[in-house]
Amino acid sequence: MTTEMKPCPFCGGVLEPVAFDYWGHPQNDCFLQAMRLASSGVGWWNARASAPPVGEGVSEKARSLINRAHNAIGSGKYDRATVKEWLAEADRLLSEKE
């Protein structure tokens, strides 16, 4: 049985099966590149709002929030709750475009 996955909302990358019961984000410049997702999280991954294709219809505010989260996570010094708020707001802005 093949599970259909939405592409990454930040880079458009497609998650691929990497191990029994796990999906992996492709290695690219996206801040989610090291992410691994258990099959039990597929519903969560697919339930989020769909993003427009990369580079299309992304407001400056959403892009700024995504970049802020990316930089915070990349630094290794960040507050998870704050980053989660930034990404939730970016997701809300992206879903308004649908």
Contact 41, 52 (CB under 8 A): no
Q: What are the backbone dihedrals phi and psi of residue 18, each rounded to the nearest 5 degrees, phi first?
A: -120, -25
Q: Which two tokens stand for residue 60?
A: 């400056």
Pair (38, 67) in one structural domain: no
Residue 53 placed within a domain: no
For the chain, the straight-line distance linking the first and the last C-alpha, in angstroms and rounded, comes to 30
Domain that holds residue 23: 1-48
pLDDT score recorded for residue 1:
45
Pair (4, 43) in one structural domain: yes
Number of domains making up the chain: 2
Residue 20 placed within a domain: yes
Q: Does the pLDDT of residue 86 top 80, yes or no?
A: yes
Mean pLDDT, the chain, rounded, equals 78
Pair (23, 64) in one structural domain: no
User: pTM here?
Assistant: 0.47
Pair (38, 14) in one structural domain: yes
Instruction: Produce one character per residue of 23-45: b if its CB has 16 or more CB atoms within 10 Å, e if not.
Output: bbbbeeebbbeebebeeeebeeb
Pair (3, 32) in one structural domain: yes
Higher pLDDT, 21 or 74: 21
Tell me if residue 92 falls in helix, strand or coil.
helix
State the residue for tokens 């707001």. Answer: 89
Residue 54 placed within a domain: no
pLDDT tens digit sequence for 2-48: 567 888 877 888 888 888 888 888 888 887 888 888 888 888 788 76
Pair (44, 22) in one structural domain: yes
